[in-house]
């Protein structure tokens, strides 16, 4: 994954040269460039969202459970089941069912839960906050730690510090997220050091902070590895640039060279990798929320699929897709800030 991100970023990153260093630090995207970039990404996101909605719709169609039977109850007659199927439009062709579903989505009508009979939007509203809190808590510490570890490994290339950090990164990439969660539950939660079930309250409360530690550590542990590896590779490549050698010749310390000259350009591939990893992070959030009984969208989606609550499952899939698109849009804008030539394309 990190090689793919580096290949993408190298086509856009500044070329090594003595004159490119100062220019890259002076670049700033204009408001028009950023606005154009946002519009372009939004247009591209439309077919992506439609594709996700279609895939989610088709996957739920192959589930052997009939929603009409669930709504009618086990004692309902065939006539009652048929009437409910007609009322829900389940007797129509698939393309027509999807068209009707898409029309309701455009009107922000996601239907009602087949279990609680509450509007799906109300069900989703109560789970969005916890999921965003978990994602935010993960990214706030995982990205800086990953970048710091990768930078330190690049500065200590070939030394034991470099080898130790890279071994940790490989372990993080290789270890499944549920294994990390089980280890934390067993040895930290089981010892009573930190709570590991439920949310405990909003993130700004002491109980909420304590409850989010283990889920965010689980989600972030497998996120640090790729970021650290990419940062190391990118910093090492940037350190060979002419403007970095010029800074060294002028007497800049190694710390100044890395932090003030190399790291900014080295962050471009790292930002690319973070964008590529967002989908994995959302998938990991589903597993993490289920393991720690975190009341987020992912856990709700798993519960809805298990109980054949199709409207809620479809709504959860749509929310996860929109979240993926929105986060990538923010990353693209930040990417355009790091290299304004992207916004001018």
Q: What is the pLDDT of residues 86-103, one digit of tens each?
A: 777 777 788 888 888 888
Contact yes or no for 223/289 (Cβ under 8 A): no
Q: Is pLDDT above 60 for 63?
A: yes
Nearest Cα to Cα of residue 313 among 79, 18, 60, 96:
60
The more confident residue out of 265 and 23 is 265
* CA–CA dist 270, 173 (Å, integer): 16
User: Cα–Cα distances in Å, from 120 out to 72, 272, 317, 318, 322?
Assistant: 19, 34, 12, 11, 16
Contact yes or no for 215/295 (Cβ under 8 A): no
Q: Give backbone dihedrals phi and psi of 112, rounded to 5 degrees, phi first.
A: -125, 150
Q: Is pLDDT above 50 for 29?
A: no
Q: Determine the average pLDDT of the residues in 115-122.
A: 85
Q: Determine the average pLDDT of the residues in 180-188.
A: 91
Question: Any idea which residue has 């930078």 for tokens?
Answer: 151
Contact yes or no for 180/221 (Cβ under 8 A): yes
End-to-end CA distance of the chain: 25
- The pLDDT, as a whole number, for residue 183 is 92
Mean per-residue pLDDT over the chain, rounded: 79
Does pTM surpass 0.85? no
Angle between helices 120-155 and 263-291 (to 10 degrees): 140
Pick from 17-21, 32-36, 80-84, 214-218: least confident? 17-21
The partner residues of 119 in beta bridges, in order of sequence, read 112
- The pLDDT, as a whole number, for residue 216 is 93
For domain 2-338, which CATH number applies: 3.40.30.10, 1.10.600.10, 1.10.357.10, 1.10.3720.10? 1.10.3720.10
- The pLDDT, as a whole number, for residue 57 is 82
Nearest Cα to Cα of residue 72 among 61, 88, 96, 92:
88
User: Percent of the chain beyond pLDDT 90?
Assistant: 11
* CA–CA dist 210, 195 (Å, integer): 7
Question: Any idea which residue has 């929310």 for tokens?
Answer: 319
Q: Is pLDDT above 50 for 278?
A: yes
- Residue 64 has what DSSP assignment? S
Q: Determine the average pLDDT of the residues in 160-179.
A: 88
How big is the chain by its Cα radius of gyration, in Å?
24
Contact yes or no for 128/319 (Cβ under 8 A): yes
Q: Percentage helix, strand, coil, to 5, in the chain?
A: 75, 0, 25
Q: pLDDT by residue (tens digit) across 33-55?
A: 667 777 887 888 888 888 888 88
Strands (E), the chain: none
Sketch the domain layout of the chain as residue ranges.
Answer: 2-338
């Amino acid at each position: 994954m990190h090689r793919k991100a580096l290949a993408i970023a190298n086509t856009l990153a500044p070329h090594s040269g003595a004159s490119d260093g100062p220019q890259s630090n002076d670049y700033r995207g204009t408001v028009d460039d950023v606005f154009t970039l946002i519009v372009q990404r939004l247009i591209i996101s439309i077919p992506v969202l439609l594709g996700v909605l279609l895939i989610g719709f088709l996957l739920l169609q192959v589930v052997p459970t009939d929603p009409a039977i669930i709504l009618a109850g086990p004692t309902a007659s065939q006539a009652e089941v048929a009437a409910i199927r007609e009322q829900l439009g389940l007797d129509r062709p698939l393309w027509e069912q999807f068209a009707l579903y898409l029309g309701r989505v455009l009107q922000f009508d996601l239907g009602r839960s087949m279990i609680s009979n509450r509007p799906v939007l109300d069900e989703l509203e109560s789970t969005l906050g916890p999921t965003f809190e978990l994602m935010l808590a993960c990214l706030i510490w995982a990205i800086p730690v990953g970048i710091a570890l990768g930078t330190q490994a690049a500065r200590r290339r070939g030394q034991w510090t470099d080898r130790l950090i890279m071994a940790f990164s490989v372990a993080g990439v290789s270890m499944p997220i549920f294994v990390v969660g089980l280890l934390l539950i067993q040895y930290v939660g089981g010892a009573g050091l930190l709570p590991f079930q439920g949310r405990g309250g909003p993130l700004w409360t002491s109980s909420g902070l304590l409850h989010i530690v283990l889920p965010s550590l689980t989600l972030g542990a497998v996120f640090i590895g790729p970021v650290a590896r990419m940062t190391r590779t990118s910093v090492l490549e940037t350190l060979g640039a002419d403007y970095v050698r010029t800074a060294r010749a002028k007497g800049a310390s190694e710390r100044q060279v890395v932090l003030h000259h190399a790291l900014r350009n080295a962050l471009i591939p790292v930002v690319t990798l973070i964008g590529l990893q967002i989908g994995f992070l959302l998938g990991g959030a589903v597993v993490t929320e289920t393991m720690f009984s975190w009341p987020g969208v992912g856990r709700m989606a798993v519960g809805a699929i298990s109980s054949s609550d199709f409207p809620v499952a479809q709504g959860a899939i749509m929310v996860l897709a929109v979240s993926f698109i929105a986060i990538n849009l923010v990353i693209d804008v930040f990417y355009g800030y790091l290299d304004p030539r992207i916004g001018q394309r």
